[in-house]
Amino acid sequence: MNHELFAILCSEAEHRHIHGLLFQHIVLCPTRAWLHYHRVDCYHLNRHMKMGLWLHETAYGGESAEPYFGAGIAPDMLDFVKREVSEVKKSKSHEAAAISQLRFYVAVMQEVTGEPWVGMLRYPSAKRTKRVVLDGPAQLELLEAFAQIKAVIELPVPPAKVEKKICANCSYRILCWGLGTEDEDY
């Protein structure tokens, strides 16, 4: 992707308040992307989300990035020496969605600094990392995800919900399926 395309993508994302999490949601569920963009949030009701927040705060000694570049990105870690932007994950579940988000972060960091950056997915529980580079195919997928996000958020109502495995742990399951958002432990 040339510099001009990066600049357009980043500027349009900032103008439309399209941030990193939407790049995850669009891969997982367009309904979720629409609900999140239009500020229908149920995170506070879901213990899986609470666990994710706790992990982010504790796994790397609380080293995390502040929300960065306005509403654009809020990565878990930024290393300006290695030029690495990182996301901390609980498990490999939904890795494609995490990669989508990280590609957007890499694009923003490259645009802002004018230098090449890489993304790192960090799995502290498994002591494992995965490197994410913004090569040609990744750039195309980033642009496709961005186009999908724009198409979805412009809809007057959410896209039709489709039941899938992730619904069981989605904070919107109370809205979509009338299911309680707290699990019971047996």
Q: Does 36 bind ligand SF4 (CB under 6 A)?
A: no
Q: How far is the CB of 99 from ligand SF4 (least distance, A)?
A: 18
Q: How far is CA 72 from CA 18, 97, 165, in A?
A: 7, 17, 29
Q: Which stretch binds ligand SF4 (CB under 6 A): 5-13, 25-33, 77-85, 87-95?
A: 25-33
Binder among 49, 55, 65, 167 for ligand SF4 (CB under 6 A): 167
Binder among 6, 9, 31, 72 for ligand SF4 (CB under 6 A): 31
Q: How far is the CB of 54 from ligand SF4 (least distance, A)?
A: 21
**Distance between CA 156 and CA 165 in Å, rounded?**
26
Q: Does 29 bind ligand SF4 (CB under 6 A)?
A: yes
**Distance between CA 85 and CA 95 in Å, rounded?**
16
Binder among 101, 153, 170, 181 for ligand SF4 (CB under 6 A): 170
Residue 128: name the closest of 96, 100, 89, 97 by CA: 89
The answer to whether the beta carbons of residues 102 and 87 sit under 8 Å apart is yes
Q: Which stretch binds ligand SF4 (CB under 6 A): 14-22, 57-65, 99-107, 161-169?
A: 161-169
Q: Is the dihedral of CA 9, 12, 14, 16 positive or negative?
A: negative
Q: Does 166 bind ligand SF4 (CB under 6 A)?
A: yes
**Distance between CA 48 and CA 54 in Å, rounded?**
10
Q: Does 161 bind ligand SF4 (CB under 6 A)?
A: yes
Q: Does 153 bind ligand SF4 (CB under 6 A)?
A: no
**Residues in a beta bridge with 121:** 87, 130
The answer to whether the beta carbons of residues 23 and 100 sit under 8 Å apart is yes
Q: Which residues bind ligand SF4 (CB under 6 A)?
A: 29, 31-32, 35, 161-162, 166-167, 170, 172-173, 176
